[in-house]
Structure 1
């Protein structure tokens, strides 16, 4: 056996061992820790087909369990969201109406589980995304965003909403309801705070705080900032850069402008 083949086999064996040893913490009223084996042994595990997978940018097939059934709850308490954390520092929040909203036609969340004997492909820039990944069937029915597909998931918990925990990220009551600043706050919380903090607020740790010590609106011209959001590598690029670009399917031009309006507003509200 050649050296390359030996290294490849060792890497595969390590990935399998890691997947078998992996566990997922779930705390939605009681602390549980479930292993890959336990999840794959659930009676509701199924093989699902996910068209237009956000991470793999194509159709994927997974062994998965319905997320709602896994949580074993039918609603979240008022002012609470589902917090999903990943091993790489990514943190996303799913609001109650996204998970448990009324209506027969709605997006269906699943927890995909990487089987040790069928490892998922590696993703350029992210590598191994297993062993747990939240995927959606019919995401457009509920307006699911690309940042609500977390991978490398290690814990799922109930947590207060972002503005309840950190009021310093909220626009003042004097800001009109129709202001793009308010829309920008919503988009920022969903799409940006999965990696970044704002005024020291937030759980994520992948990227820098976007207001401390300086705000991007203070050192990027508007057209440069828009270009950076759309394609970061068109402005700055380095080998370990992790920030993805946001195309118009992920964030509309209107929402990009709203995020920039929110950033400009927060530049004057450092705390």
Structure 2
């Protein structure tokens, strides 16, 4: 999996700036979209994002409603979004198909109007970036705004693909551990592996050889998740944290710690 991500990264580096391909596969065959095709899509329009997750300011994009690019998408489907830098996040179809008012868009970088660089010298967000209008209406997390996007594909659930990340079947469905597993999937798994399993390789494994619950107190770990610079001052760090209750509620954070503590007792020997 790491080799595949590295190859994908190399491919993205080889593409001309602002001219790229996006691979989309919802189980009905692979469709390759070029930048030019997306910018001329019949549904393309200008959207304004008041609080953009990546740029941390109001942004305007030429964008296509994401649903327009996902033929046959159904409730219960799971989609994986893979970026050029190795970031990988799963977004349930139910989040994209929600009726609460949140709407997912694929923003397309136009070579005539290139986007600015990301804050703190984090590089570029283009050529494709999933942005949301009214994200809070569907509980969209900050990790569900993947940029430098290269591929969207239908996939199995995380528990099916990576069984060693899942709590045992004996754990009750209403347990904080299961709640925390859901929080982990949408906030942590986009950058980290756990028990050696996962698609993303931007951050360290969160269970082997040690879980952060092994060496950090709950108070320190909560502070770190909210603001990674609270533990080690490192301006170049990629982890931005979840500083607000809108991005990660206290209840979700408590559940996440419950899941990590549980998994610390269920390490997989590598």
TM-score by length of 2: 0.88
**Residue 98 of structure 1 pairs with residue 95 of structure 2:** yes
* 8 Å CA contact 1:52, 1:59 repeated in 2: yes
1:24 aligned residue: 22
Shift of 1:189: 0.7
Report the Cα offset of residue 151 of structure 1.
Answer: 0.5
* 8 Å CA contact 2:73, 2:93 repeated in 1: no
What is the correspondence of 1:194-233 to structure 2 with a 5 Å cutoff?
194-233=190-229
The higher radius of gyration belongs to 1
Output the CA distance in 1 between the equivalents of 2:25 and 2:174. 37
Aligned residue pairs: how many?
252
Deviates more, 1:112-121 or 1:67-76: 67-76
Q: CA deviation at 1:180?
A: 1.5
Q: CA deviation at 1:178?
A: 3.0
Which sections of structure 1, spanning at least 5 residues, go unmatched? 1-13
Cα distance in structure 2, aligned partners of 1:189 and 1:180: 14
Give a deviation string over 1:71-102, Cα, whole Å, max 9, x none. 122416x5x4110011111111111211224x
Q: Which residue of 1 aligns with 2:140?
A: 144
Shift, 1:162, TM fit: 0.2
Q: Are 1:111 and 2:101 an aligned pair?
A: no
Q: Distance in 2 between matches of 1:36 and 1:99?
A: 22
Aligned mate of 1:167, from 163, 166, 175: 163
Alpha-carbon offset, residue 240 of structure 1: 3.4
Aligned-CA RMSD value = 1.8
Partners in 2 of 1:88 and 1:161 — Cα distance? 22
Pairing 1:1-271 to 2, within 5 Å after superposition = 17-20=16-19, 22-28=20-26, 29-75=28-74, 80-101=77-98, 103=99, 105-125=100-120, 126-238=122-234, 240-247=236-243, 248-271=245-268
Distance 2:137 2:251 in 1: 20
Q: Could you tell me how far 1:262 is from its partner in structure 2?
A: 0.7
User: 1: CA distance between counterparts of 2:79 and 2:37?
Assistant: 22
- SS at the partner of 1:52? coil
Unaligned runs of 5+ in 2: 1-12
User: What secondary structure sits across from 2:64 in the alignment?
Assistant: strand
Question: Within 2, Cα distance between the matches of 1:152 and 1:189?
Answer: 20
23-32 vs 199-208, which deviates more?
23-32
